[in-house]
Amino acid sequence: MQAAPGQLVSGRYRVTDRPTGAGLPAQDVHTGAPVLLHALDLPELLVPGQLYDEPDPREGHRLAERVAAAAERAPRHPRLLVEPGAAAEQGVLWIASERLAGAPLAELAGAGPVPPYRVAELAADLAGALRALHEVGTTHGNVTADAVTVCEDGAAMLGGLLLGTAEEALCEELGGGVPHRLYEVRADLLGPRAERWPADAGPPADCWALGVLLYRLLTGHGPYPEGDLPTLLAAVRDGRRYPADGCGPLRGLVEELLDLGPEARPTAAAVQQRLRALLAGAPEPFGPTEETPLLPVPRPAGPVVPHPRGRARGEGRLPVPRGPSRVPPALLGPLLVGGVMLALLAALAAVVLTAG
């Protein structure tokens, strides 16, 4: 279902613009706050042996209640997006989240691999958000690039908690407790995205998904083949992943996060601590001092000021910079006085010649 600008959704959210990659921009008419809406269809979903022609209204309300309970359990944290809740309307579950100035991480990462120390900054923010969730006994379950917003100041904000909760709840409803049906429903709804298919559950699954996301940001692709779901799941089960050669200084941490043994993975708190230590000793421009700029300034290749005639003179050589003055400070005073006396003598000679 699509909502047009000006339409009121669930009696509370006024759509303000067309959909973007991050969601549907809207405004909360009760508070005036800008929000993003995510629509989860309660769909005509084909499951082998059963076709859901019409969404069950009770199903939408049950999902909304489960999402509301997850919203109440979620802690307030400076790196967690505020997600007020969800409401079912005409076969669609609408989920609202805080809208901040920024861009989805998936959009920023689409241009190719992200520099490792920038990834470390983003990962430290995400690990802090996961730590807050885990401390109150909540698992996120949707740690993906689509769930992360990178703000204008460079901070990473983790959202997607309620959407992930709703998707998993919908899969359980349509799966009916039958394992093979649950698998088929999840396969249709989630697709072969490695972050959503951990080998275990709970906080260790979130940390594993964080490792997958970091690998993806650092290399430009996932650590497992994602051409189809059976191949992906077999690779995850057997621990067959691509080498982490492109992960640079984060290689050790990424490999530990992707360990198949949940007890061997670092916790979100440990990940945050290790990333902070890495960033504290990082080369410029990621050092901890205030004088260090927040973002790197790229330097152009070649001489900063090219020769006006190209490279014809001094082909292949860079201009030799002039060094500082070699005059000792002690001689500057006498030299200055001598220069003044010479100027006075020259002026006197000129007067005498003119008078003569």
pLDDT digits 0-9 by tens, 172-202? 888 888 888 899 999 999 999 999 999 999 9
Reported confidence tier of residue 336, pLDDT bands at 50, 70, 90: low
pLDDT of residue 287: 46
Reported confidence tier of residue 323, pLDDT bands at 50, 70, 90: very low
The structure tokens 């901070």 sit at 155
Q: Which of 346 and 157 is assigned the larger pLDDT?
A: 157
Reported confidence tier of residue 295, pLDDT bands at 50, 70, 90: very low
Of 45-54, 57-66, 94-103, 257-266, the least confident:
45-54
pLDDT of residue 276: 95
How far is Cα 145 from Cα 136, in angstroms, rounded to an integer?
Answer: 23
Q: Which of 280 and 332 is assigned the larger pLDDT?
A: 280
pLDDT digits 0-9 by tens, 104-127? 999 888 878 999 999 999 999 999
Reported confidence tier of residue 60, pLDDT bands at 50, 70, 90: confident
Cα–Cα separations (whole angstroms), residue 223 to 13, 187, 212, 346:
39, 19, 6, 82
Task: Give me the mean pLDDT over the 42-46 stretch.
Answer: 59
3-state secondary structure at position 234: helix
pLDDT digits 0-9 by tens, 228-246? 999 999 999 999 999 999 9
Q: H or E element: which one contains 50? A: strand 50-51
Write down the mean pLDDT value for the chain: 82
Res. 329: pLDDT tops 90: no
- Do 342 and 350 touch, CB atoms closer than 8 A? no
pLDDT of residue 154: 92
pLDDT of residue 61: 85
The structure tokens 């000021």 sit at 305
Res. 334: pLDDT tops 70: no
Task: Give me the mean pLDDT over the 30-49 stretch.
Answer: 77
In degrees and rounded to multiples of 5, residue 326 shows phi and psi of -95, 5
pLDDT of residue 312: 40
pLDDT of residue 262: 92
Residues of the chain above pLDDT 70, percent: 76
pLDDT of residue 355: 61
Q: Are strands 92-98 and 8-9 parallel, antiparallel or unpaired?
A: unpaired
pLDDT of residue 282: 85
Task: Give me the mean pLDDT over the 150-168 stretch.
Answer: 95
Reported confidence tier of residue 290, pLDDT bands at 50, 70, 90: very low
pLDDT of residue 353: 62
Task: Give me the mean pLDDT over the 66-83 stretch.
Answer: 94
> Which sign does the torsion angle of CA 247, 253, 256, 257 carry?
negative
Nearest Cα to Cα of residue 45 among 189, 193, 229: 189
H-assigned helices in 11-96: 57-73
Reported confidence tier of residue 325, pLDDT bands at 50, 70, 90: very low
Q: Which of 103-107, 132-136, 299-303, 316-320 ranks highest by mean pLDDT?
A: 132-136
Q: Which of 356 and 208 is assigned the larger pLDDT?
A: 208
Q: Specify whether domain 8-280 bears CATH 2.60.40.10.
A: no
Residues of the chain above pLDDT 90, percent: 59
